Amino acid sequence: MSRFCASFTIVNRRGLHARAATRLVQLASRFGCDISVRRQEQEANAKSVMGVLLLCCGPGTQVEICARGPEAEAAVTELGALIEEGFGELD
């Protein structure tokens, strides 16, 4: 099964706060593949709101998104784009 990983930086001012985490999880849940978000040694299931919130990613944090399964590369690309456009919160 294909596996695809890429790293991104949280750019929006409030970081991966509750609403942003929800958007990330909602997008991840549209894909059939298994997706994880990693911050340093902590890893969370990208489809779990609780798990993603627990990573407590502030602005400037590096996260690695990994996907395994169908559409893995598309999932990582789309999630990365969401993170890099600051969850639509950039001024």
Partner 1 sequence: MSDQESPRVPPPSVSVAQLLEDPLLGVPLRVLAGRGGLQRLITHPRVQKSGLAMVGHLQGVSPTRLQVLGETELSYAESLSPEAQQRAARHLFSLGLSCVVITRGATPPPAFLEEADRTATPVVGAPARSSATITALHAVLDERLAPRARLHGVLVDVYGVGVLLSGKSGIGKSEAALELVMRGHRLVADDVVEADYRPPGAVYGQAAELLRHHLEVRGLGVLNVMDLYGVTAVRARIRIELVVALELWRAEAEYERLGLDVEACSILGVPVRRVTLPVRPGRNMSRIIEIAARSELLRQAGRNPVEDFVRRVEAASLGEAPSREELG
- Which residues are part of the catalytic machinery? 17
Residue placing its CB nearer to partner 1 in the complex, 19 or 90:
19
Q: Which is nearer to partner 1, 17 or 84 (CB)?
A: 17
Site residues (vs partner 1, CB under 8 A): 29, 41-45, 47-51, 53-54, 56
User: Minimal CA–CA distance to 2: which of 32, 25, 29?
Assistant: 32
**Rounded distance between C-alpha atoms, residue 49 and residue 75, angstroms:** 17
Question: Angle CA(31)–CA(59)–CA(78) in degrees, nearest 5?
Answer: 20
Least CB distance to partner 1 at residue 37 (A): 11
